[in-house]
Structure 1
């Protein structure tokens, strides 16, 4: 049964925003007291949070589909809907979040570090929030925005100071078991270690962690053996320790050729050339192993390596090794810049980005893509003519209508807003304020109006002109 998972594909969906409410205040002797529809609640986010007590992604391997709750709809009497609850997913320290194409979205390091993987939809505005000097009694409300969703890939890269690397059965697990309190599985056959093991070691005043990486073999960087699965756990380590077997029974192997083979795989994987390295000649408790260690030590030192002869069985050379590792770890920590380790990738928009695009496709259809137009379409109730006219006015004020004319669109041409698999398609009719002639002044109810002084009429006309010049978006953030 699988007990350790370090890579999963997670299918997540944030909560949808609640719909706004279209309501008119009513009480005795006051049948039309003005709009009082409340806003819909925000949909819940899907958040990834680092939890030190979590060491594997096993839970998400078994149940990869996760969804936050939806926001509640608004109600009359200016009552806003309840926000959806955020879904908090605990992940191990050192989790990397990627999209389906392999682009890094976030690199989560440190207890409590969080990342919003899917954002909940905004709640729709009620007709009370949509009211203005020109639109005194809107007969519509905005629908809630759908929550974001999709697939993300979680990869776990072990956070450790030192990585023990070497061939299978080189004695890495035995070494970490005597250097620390870790209790890895130890046996006399290759690939005994199937998951990275972590141990805490004290060298003088320095406390550091050591990772025992499953055995590497030639071709590991291309996926041979288990190496490719666990080479990512070496990336975060500050120091690499080559554990070389001096008592191997294989005639075609020796410590020098083992070192060359592992170095070739590390170089092929890339990004590890700047890590300091130590060499441990292991199993010197075996007579032939001790002799071989003495033979190859001069060659290794001539290559610039600091060499330690050790035996996990006899507990020989461990104290010197732990102090040498502590010194290298302390230097690596001091050299690190004083900044947050967590990395979240932000891709800002260009300063000249209009927020949408208008393109003409081969079949003659004009397609509008952009965050605002697509969001507004999702928030529109197409069964309500007034809401449709409001959408048309918003698009016109944004500049979509002008850009359609520049692109060559004519009356009756097909226009689609949104991606191919989820678009709203309609026959375009260019207008100054779309639908104004057909629907009159949308949202106005003359029964609410009393005779107005001339100054008030002039002020209202000025408000109409101002609204035509700029987008009115209520309390909805851009």
Structure 2
């Protein structure tokens, strides 16, 4: 059973941040020494890196889920929580990462790494929330959840020479006799079920050779095994057509075989500019030698170098290996010189204050009337402890200072309107600038204690009445438009 895995789908989750701590310093003769709650630790990141000892994605095939460590909660005496353990995932050279169908990283070169998911921020403790107006906060922030999403990993082998051709053309035999690789070889089609890689030394040039199993007509459209492995020749410097000149099938010949393979490569796309070399294999068979001499003039019309070889007797393999080396060196010479690694220090980007307020018609969108979309408001919602009145009041002050309340008023929101931010829905009530949370006991907010505030039942009743009135108005307008069209 083949154990070469070159495509896996994983669920990746970064670590969540730890919660901040609510604590007041206490010691003898100083029972209220001020807030000293520490911050929560940040969640761990998920990092993929190229490991020279990894050759397939087999280990990840059985894991399915990857999760970094969560940050520890803050503690009293200004002790911050520990950062969550970062998860480092080794992958083979040539691994490409996709999320939501888009390529997000191409990992080539030993040591190359990318942070695919950053851990959530740790919540601030009450010692970090002290301000001129709030001297002794009775609340702390919750840790930010770590992002979680699906990622697809595809392995594209990093080989210099790609051997392409029909099944049983002798590609595996060529690799076995030109390198130390020992692929499976047999006298039936589709013997090779996984790409084989071999390292070849020709003079001062060392290069790698890979074959693509199962290329047949329709491979680029999913027929046979070709579609699963065509990605492995995208990075090759040169493609070699390996043709079986001793084939006994009456409906096939080397000229048509190459034409079919070229058609599949064109349909797959992105390979038209790669150099080609034609390898006429199995000339040790008398009929093979005769056929090679017969079709050579026609094949020379392509303008590609042609070599006649026998993988069994090793005839012509030395010349072929040096031809591959010359093509690889030509390709490498055209590539830009890699830049020396530089340490670049960049200032940390400031999170944008931008947000949008969207209004929705309850008649068609349910009970949500307004939705606030923006990174800051959504993050603030995630880190707010809604069991603490002071924390809710602090959230209201932050939203008001950001301008959210002004935009809600412009959008037509009224006290009691349903507002959604992130995954949280609530009945909106404007912040009263004359009332400050600092005049209430710790953990409380005076705005929740006002006697003139309507109860939740009363606000819900008023909201339902307004919603019913709007629904009736929408129905009346719709009916009026229908009558107008009928009268026409």
TM-score range, shorter chain: 0.7 to 0.9
Aligned to 1:33: 33
Distance 1:13 1:164, change over 3 A: same
Aligned length: 430
Structure 2 residue 394 is the aligned partner of structure 1 residue 390: yes
* Structure 1 contact 396–432 (Cα < 8 Å) conserved: no
Aligned to 1:437: 435
Pairwise CA distance, 1:354? 4.9
- What are the ranges of 5 or more consecutive residues in structure 1 without an aligned counterpart? 343-350, 446-478
Output the CA distance in 2 between the equivalents of 1:408 and 1:176.
72
* Structure 1 contact 72–84 (Cα < 8 Å) conserved: yes
Q: Deviations over 1:239-261 (max 9, x none)?
A: 10000110011110000000000
Aligned to 1:165: 164
Q: Where has structure 1 moved over 6 Å in runs of 4 or more?
A: 442-445
Distance 1:284 1:88, change over 3 A: same
CA RMSD for the aligned pairs?
2.0
Structure 2 residue 252 is the aligned partner of structure 1 residue 253: yes
* Structure 2 contact 353–376 (Cα < 8 Å) conserved: no
Output the CA distance in 1 between the equivalents of 2:195 and 2:70.
39
* Structure 2 contact 352–376 (Cα < 8 Å) conserved: no
Pairwise CA distance, 1:57? 0.9
Aligned to 1:71: 71
Output the CA distance in 2 between the equivalents of 1:127 and 1:37.
5
Aligned to 1:47: 47
Output the CA distance in 1 between the equivalents of 2:134 and 2:57.
53
Pairwise CA distance, 1:128? 0.8
Output the CA distance in 1 between the equivalents of 2:160 and 2:440.
66
Aligned to 1:413: 417
Aligned to 2:229: 230
Output the CA distance in 1 between the equivalents of 2:415 and 2:337.
61
Q: Deviations over 1:317-365 (max 9, x none)?
A: 11111111111111111111234799xxxxxxxx997532211123252
Normalised TM-score (structure 1): 0.87
Aligned to 1:377: 381
SS in 1 for 2:435: helix
Aligned to 2:323: 324
Normalised TM-score (structure 2): 0.85
* Structure 1 contact 17–121 (Cα < 8 Å) conserved: yes
Output the CA distance in 1 between the equivalents of 2:130 and 2:19.
17
Aligned to 2:357: 358
Output the CA distance in 1 between the equivalents of 2:219 and 2:294.
28
Q: Deviations over 1:359-412 (max 9, x none)?
A: 112325211122211111110000111111111111122222222122221221
Question: Which moved further from structure 2: 170-179 or 53-62?
Answer: 53-62
* Structure 2 contact 133–438 (Cα < 8 Å) conserved: no
SS in 2 for 1:251: coil
Structure 2 residue 408 is the aligned partner of structure 1 residue 404: yes
Pairwise CA distance, 1:130? 1.0
Aligned to 1:181: 180
Aligned to 1:143: 142
Output the CA distance in 1 between the equivalents of 2:28 and 2:396.
37
- What are the ranges of 5 or more consecutive residues in structure 2 without an aligned counterpart? 342-349, 363-367, 444-488
Distance 1:339 1:416, change over 3 A: farther
Structure 2 residue 206 is the aligned partner of structure 1 residue 207: yes
Aligned to 1:472: none
